[in-house]
């Protein structure tokens, strides 16, 4: 039986029912976006009683399909005002799926108390936990594991979410108990905070216990898929060796690394904050250059970076190294790690925090390149000062508060680590994805820079619309499976990739899906999301990049972003 | 010859040309909205190089038509993201019109220096004025009058506008030199600040020198219009005696006075901050209970309130007394005056500031009822602190930064002094006017509360759509004439009112307009504004009140706001 848990924070009632027929074949982003469209009024206040927060493991989560442990979280976003799905690795997706839980929905509102939802094999119970209010995610996760079970997975928010800060994320822990696997983007932590829910404890000792209809067939497909991943240079070599931050030198070399709040595309200090350097220092200090964010991941692109103060920051992703490094004119990995750690602990999206600090440096609130000032400012988030709240409100709001015109954000969400002018395929994705600027929604770095899945010149507009469209559709489908998006590197270059994913789904659920069905699923997800956003008041005016990308040339390629009306064609199917 | 001045702040070039044919028959809001639609790209950044700021006297300004000295200011609003027209009394509209100037347009951008535009009978000159940067409007106005001419009119911004704060206004002085007549709403001061223009000095000694084609015909009509105004109980008695703040007790009695951030509709301390009390104290202290904001006004609804520190706050309008009084649970007129004065000096819209302080009190940043705390917080605006910037960013942004769900704003602009639940006609206006929440855009208090122009039950939805529509059309037309909106009280109740306005226009311009032409003008203005907003990305989702007005009952009448889909019919002509 597939279970569907509803928690009403207004009444404090938990109900565990069967999954509605309509949602049985959905998982991950396919489920969260369909559900939000179905049940959240599009114009409702994102921090109000009518918003609903949904947690859903991907379709393949809880099986031994390699790298399939992504947990999707959905709601109306307080940052963008549109629909949001944000997914994370960590252990809880596998645990929830292994418990036969299709989704947990949190509805209603609680303004005063702090609560924990404890999920066990046959129960789900709401427990008052005012003693845990205000705790950072690291301490909180350790406390809850100690209190309930060392093998429990903990989904939680930090003080940022409790204070309903607009770029607060929701985290869950990795196998070592680090609370650092974030559904970071779009402020879903603030939604959880508005409901008075501090954490969900998932007690389940088995990560691979989800029901599989044809186990033998599944095993063959999963093994084949693991080989496909291991055979590709990115998923089999680059990522396992240096993690995502292997991109730092590559993107810098490509001249599309956003430096000093998107002022230029190359950074002298790039190598100092690169994956290569990170691996060197991490190993030297007894950390890990490679690490799996959830059991069963063969790419192991995470890391564990010991900081000078003895604490360990795990992981430092490329986008985080970028936003706290080149974006702020900072080339000190220890500063980057510290900023990253503060975000993880207080419960804040790193990308948004980095974009926002860049905007504040542009405004002259603190100087570019000043790591100490950045650390001091970011520490104010947890203190809830006025400046701390501005930082946690995200780049667009901070830009408005300080009257800044150069604000790298779309639909209220900060633009990540690839300048749209010299990686135009990503620019198309930033502009048009219903999620607000998001590199993962249609990662055109593949064909633009890495020459994976073909090549499209990153500095020219030709081919970018089609590239982004295809990637957005494929990504939406991948986000439904619970597979890590990084499998796409291999899938795009291996014609057996996608059929093998379909084969795993068919073996697990006793279906006979085709590749066309998967494409249709991706399109359906995007259509649902666009329908919600249209109801919320979004128009094509929201599907554009900020003015300065159209006006200012980016060095070294002297490129502007020039796509406008063509953008309206991207998500027409 | 009608002159059209263009000032390009990027090149520092001033050009004085003939008014384009298209704009000859337009003035005030009719001109500013047409111009902004014509020349400002709707999706451009409001503080960027592509936004344009236009100052335009009303069509009747500079004549001796009674109460015709309103100056319209237009641009894309940094507060709402839509088109904005905000108009003010004071002396400069009459002076500009008397100089034969149809409009002054400020375009381009200047990020560093501070400049003054000096306008004389036959010239307009841009003068560097870095020595004036950062000065408050009171000192600045005095200095400029001393420097150029005691009879000069000064249009200027305070530090809030220079710091590009989103609710910064643009002020100009009254006959006594007080820089307190604000085009306050929508952040036009920030647009002026983004262009590096600190002030416009208008040197002209004659307030009534605009060309009139048929002087005798005009004189007869103007005299008749003055009588119509003097004969009406509101414009002839109520306003001249106690000013706009005569409304405090009336709106309180009606049970639609927003108290403690729109939590209830009646306030125990209303009489303490009423117009009656204000008149008593002002006279006692040697101030003025009645005062004309510009020469030739017969209603004289302004006042001059001496504060305990010896300074004079002039005027204290009803909406300001409300937003710093009942809205903050404050019943001390001296506190209200001080808050008002700070706004006038730093250059901030009082209504937005009061709404924002209410939201911050709701968030617990400072306590309701604490006048000292409110003064201290508001003083931070001029200091440019993080909290000061949040306050000056307006109610909606402050609400988002602090995670507040009860935020009284539409299209990013704070809702003024009449609760939409028990003054539903105003609610319809707040929701649908292209300006963002604005009581002046369709002031249904007339028929809802004052029984002027008929009676429509303020607590029922019946008739409100039509009421607001008619008022919005009439208001747009009035805003084109330069007449003070308050003439509407008399015009609505006297069938000779509107024909007399038309007669003045015909006499001045040698036209043969009919009343239907005036209605058509009002509709055209609104259509232009809605077209701009649609291009900027506004949809019907933006034409709604905040959720809490639909969910929470207002005491004492236990009313909610229940109009939704009907709102889409308001501005369909």
Chain A to chain B, count of Cβ pairs less than 8 Å apart?
101
CB contact under 8 A, A164 and B386: no
Show the 3-state SS of B163-214.
CCCCCECEEECCCCCCCCEEECHHHHHHHHHHCCEEEEEECCCCCCCCCCCC
With a CB cutoff of 8 Å and minimum separation 6, the contacts of A140 are: A132, A154, A156, A158, A179, A198, A199
What tens digit of pLDDT does each residue of B32-48 get? 999 999 999 999 999 99
Answer whether A426's CB lies under 8 Å from A448's CB: yes
Contact A315/A293 with Cβ under 8 angstroms?
Answer: yes
Helix (H, G, I), strand (E, B) or coil at A531: helix
* DSSP letter for each residue of A389-407: HHHHT-HHHHHHHTT-S--
Closest CA to B90 of B182, B205, B170, B199: B182
- Cα diameter, chain A: 61
What is the Cα–Cα distance from B4 to B19, expressed in whole angstroms? 5
**CB nearest B387 (choices: A78, A386, A548):** A386
pLDDT band at A315 (very low <50, low <70, confident <90, very high): very high
Residue A540, classified by CB atoms within 10 Å of its CB into exposed (0-12), middle (13-18) or buried (19+), is middle
For chain B, how many helices (H) and strands (E)? 22, 17
A371 pLDDT above the threshold of 90: yes
Tokens of B184: 């306050």
At residue A207, the pLDDT reads 87
Helices then strands, each counted (H, E), chain A: 22, 17
Q: Residue B164 and residue A546: Cβ atoms within 8 Å? A: no
State how far the Cα of A76 lies from the Cα of A194, in Å rounded to an integer: 12
Predicted confidence (pLDDT) per residue in A58-74, tens digit: 999 999 999 999 999 99
Question: In whole angstroms, what separates CA B149 from the centre of its chain?
Answer: 27
Distance CA B148, CA B202 (A): 9
Tokens 């060309």 -> residue = B211
Contact list, B548 vs chain A (CB under 8 Å)? 45
Q: How far apart are the first and last CA of chain B?
A: 35
The tokens describing A364, both together, are 């002259």
pLDDT of residue B473: 97
ipTM: 0.97
The pLDDT of residue A572: 94
Fold of A3-202: Aldehyde Ferredoxin Oxidoreductase;  A, domain 1 (3.60.9)
* A538:B542 CB<8 A: no
- pLDDT tens-digit readout, A103-131: 999 999 999 999 999 999 999 999 999 99
The span from the CA of B421 to the CA of B554, in Å, is 7
**CA-CA-CA-CA torsion sign (B145, B147, B148, B150):** positive
Which chain A residues have a beta carbon less than 8 Å from that of B541?
Answer: 42-43, 535-537
Q: In B393-486, which ranges are continuous DSSP H helix?
A: 395-401, 424-432, 445, 464-481
If you measure CA to CA, which chain B residue comes closest to A363? Answer: B163
All residue ranges of chain B with pLDDT < 70 are none
Q: How far apart are CA A156 and CA A170, in angstroms?
A: 6
Minimal Cβ distance to A400: which of B48, B194, B397? B397
Residues A212-267 pLDDT 10s: 999 999 999 999 999 999 999 999 998 999 999 999 999 999 999 999 999 999 99
Of A271, A244, A249, A260, which is closest to residue A333 (Cα–Cα)?
A271
Strand order in the sheet with A181-183: A123-128, A115-120, A197-202, A153-156, A170-172, A181-183
CB contact under 8 A, A403 and B166: yes
B526 phi, psi to nearest 5 deg: -65, -40
Which DSSP symbol is given to B554? B
Mean pLDDT along residues A13-27: 97
Sign of the alpha-carbon torsion through A34, A37, A40, A46: positive
Q: Would the pLDDT of A211 be above 90?
A: yes
Rounded to the nearest 5 percent, the helix, strand and coil shares of chain A are 45, 15, 40
Strands in B275-321 per DSSP E: 288-291, 302-306, 312-313
* Placement of tokens 């009002």 in the chain: B522
Q: Chain A interface, mutation test: which of B191, B386, B532, B542, most A Cβ atoms within 10 Å?
A: B386
3-state secondary structure (DSSP) of residue A372: helix
Q: How far is A542 from chain B (nearest CA, A)?
A: 7
Gap between the Cα atoms of B81 and A123, Å rounded: 49
| pLDDT given at position A46 | 98
State CA A315 to chain mean position distance: 13
Q: Which residues pair with A201 in a beta bridge?
A: A118, A154
Q: Do B405 and A45 touch (CB under 8 A)?
A: yes
B563 CB burial (10 A radius; 0-12, 13-18, 19+)? buried
Is the distance from CB of B371 to CB of B378 less than 8 angstroms? Answer: no
CA distance A565 to A475: 23
Instruction: Kindly report the average pLDDT of chain B as a whole number.
Output: 97
Amino acid B296: pLDDT: 87
At residue A487, the 3 state secondary structure works out as helix
pLDDT in tens, B472-530: 999 999 999 999 999 999 999 999 999 999 999 999 999 999 999 999 999 999 999 99
Which one of A160, A405, A539, A542 makes the best mutation probe of the B interface by having the most chain B beta carbons within 10 Å?
Answer: A405
Using a CB-CB distance cutoff of 8 angstroms, which residues of chain B are in contact with residue A348? Answer: none
- Chosen from A40, A403, A406, A544 to mutate, greatest number of chain B CBs within 10 A: A403
Please give the pLDDT value at position A1. Answer: 79
Ranges A280-284, A505-509, B206-210: which has the least confidence: B206-210
pLDDT band at A296 (very low <50, low <70, confident <90, very high): confident
Q: CA of B191: which chain A residue's CA is closest? A: A403
Are A547 and B193 within 8 A, CB to CB?
Answer: no
Burial of B463 (0-12, 13-18, 19+ CB in 10 A): middle
* pLDDT tens sequence across B410-436: 999 999 999 999 999 999 999 999 999
Cβ-Cβ contacts under 8 Å, A50 against chain B: 547
What's the whole-number mean pLDDT along residues A527-534?
Answer: 98
* Percentage of the residues of chain A whose pLDDT score is greater than 70: 100
Residues of A in contact with B402 (CB under 8 A): 164, 389
Query: How far, in Å, CA of A36 to CA of A199, rounded?
Result: 21
- Convert the pLDDT of each residue in A456-494 to its tens digit: 999 999 999 999 999 999 999 999 999 999 999 999 999
This prediction's pTM: 0.98
| Contact residues, chain A, for B390 at CB < 8 Å | 386, 389-390, 401
| Rounded CA separation B325/B341 (Å) | 14
Give chain B positions within 8 Å (CB) of A540: 537
Which residue in chain B has the smallest CA separation from A47?
A: B405
Vertex A503 angle, CA A499 and A509, to 5°: 145
Chain A residues within 8 Å of chain B (Cβ atoms): 42-45, 47-50, 78, 163-166, 190, 193-194, 385-387, 389-390, 393, 397, 400-403, 405, 535-542, 544, 546-548, 551
Q: How many CB atoms lie within 10 A of CB A451?
A: 11
Six-digit token pair at B9?
């702040």
* Distance of residue A163 Cα from the nearest chain B Cα, in angstroms: 7
B190, B403, B540 member nearest A403 (Cβ) = B190
Check residue A183 and give left, alpha or beta (phi > 0: left; psi -120 to 50: alpha).
beta
Choose from A44, A401, A539 for mutation: most chain B CBs within 10 A. Answer: A401
Q: Which of A438, A428, A406 is nearest to A561 (CA)?
A: A428
- Closest residue in A to B391 (Cα) is A401
pLDDT digits (tens, 9 = 90+) for A30-48: 999 999 999 999 999 999 9
- Residue A169 phi, psi dihedral angles, 5° rounding: -105, 180
Please provide the DSSP assignment of B432-451 as one string.
H-TTSS-GGGS-THIIIII-
| Chain B residues with at least one Cβ partner in A under 8 Å | 42-45, 47-50, 78, 163-166, 190, 193-194, 385-387, 389-390, 393, 397, 400-403, 405, 535-542, 544, 546-548, 551
R_g (Cα) of chain A, nearest Å: 21
**Cβ-contact B403, A163 below 8 angstroms:** yes
Alpha-helical segments (H) within A202-295: 215-231, 239-242, 247-254, 275-284
Residue B446, both tokens? 């007339």
């Amino acid at each position: 039986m597939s279970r569907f848990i509803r928690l009403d924070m207004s009444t404090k009632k938990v109900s565990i029912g069967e999954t509605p027929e309509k949602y049985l074949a959905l998982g991950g982003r396919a489920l969260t976006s369909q559900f939000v469209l179905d049940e959240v009024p599009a114009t409702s206040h994102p921090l109000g009683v009518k918003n609903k927060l949904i947690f859903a493991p991907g379709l393949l989560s809880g099986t031994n399909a390699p790298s399939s442990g992504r947990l999707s979280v959905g709601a109306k976003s307080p940052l963008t005002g549109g629909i949001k799905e944000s997914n994370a690795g960590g252990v809880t997706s596998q645990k929830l799926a292994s418990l036969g839980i299709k989704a947990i929905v949190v509805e209603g509102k609680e303004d005063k108390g702090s609560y924990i939802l404890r999920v066990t094999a046959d129960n789900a119970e709401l427990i008052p936990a005012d003693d845990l209010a205000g705790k950072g995610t690291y301490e909180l996760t350790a406390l809850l594991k100690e209190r309930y079970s060392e093998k429990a997975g903990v989904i939680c928010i930090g003080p940022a979410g409790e204070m309903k800060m607009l770029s607060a994320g929701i985290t869950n822990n990795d196998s070592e108990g680090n609370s650092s696997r974030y559904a970071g983007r779009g402020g879903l932590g603030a939604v959880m905070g508005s409901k008075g829910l501090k954490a969900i404890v998932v007690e389940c000792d088995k990560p691979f216990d989800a029901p599989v209809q044809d186990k033998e067939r599944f095993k063959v497909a999963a093994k084949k898929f693991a080989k496909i991943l291991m055979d590709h240079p990115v998923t089999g070599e680059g990522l396992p060796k240096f993690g995502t931050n292997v991109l730092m030198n590559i993107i810098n070399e490509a001249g599309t690394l956003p430096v000093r709040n998107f002022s230029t595309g190359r950074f002298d200090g790039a190598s100092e904050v690169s994956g290569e350097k990170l691996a060197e220092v991490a190993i030297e200090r007894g950390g890990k250059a490679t690490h799996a964010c959830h059991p069963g991941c063969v790419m192991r692109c995470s890391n564990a970076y010991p900081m000078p103060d003895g604490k360990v920051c795990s992981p430092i992703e490329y986008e985080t190294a970028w936003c706290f490094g080149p974006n702020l004119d900072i080339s000190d990995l220890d500063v980057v790690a510290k900023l990253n750690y503060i975000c993880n602990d207080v419960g804040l999206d790193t990308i948004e925090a980095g974009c926002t600090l860049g905007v504040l440096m542009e405004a002259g609130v603190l100087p570019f390149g000043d790591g100490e000032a950045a650390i001091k400012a970011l520490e104010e988030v947890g203190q809830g000062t006025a400046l701390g709240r501005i930082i946690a409100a995200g780049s667009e709001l901070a830009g408005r508060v300080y009257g800044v015109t150069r604000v790298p954000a779309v639909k209220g969400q900060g633009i990540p680590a690839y300048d749209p002018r010299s990686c135009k395929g990503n620019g198309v994705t930033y502009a048009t994805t219903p999620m607000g600027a998001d590199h993962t929604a249609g990662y055109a770095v593949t064909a633009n820079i890495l020459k994976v899945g073909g090549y499209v010149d990153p500095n020219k507009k030709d081919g970018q619309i089609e590239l982004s469209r295809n990637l957005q559709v494929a990504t939406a489908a991948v986000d439904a499976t619970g597979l890590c998006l990084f499998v796409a590197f291999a899938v795009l270059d291996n014609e057996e990739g996608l059929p093998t994913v379909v084969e795993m789904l068919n073996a697990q659920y006793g279906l006979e899906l085709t590749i066309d069905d998967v494409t249709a699923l991706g399109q359906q997800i995007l259509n649902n999301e666009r329908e919600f956003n249209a109801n919320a008041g979004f128009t094509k005016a929201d599907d554009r990049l900020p003015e300065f990308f159209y006006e200012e040339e980016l060095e070294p390629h002297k490129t502007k972003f020039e796509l406008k009306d063509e953008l309206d064609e991207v998500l027409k199917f």
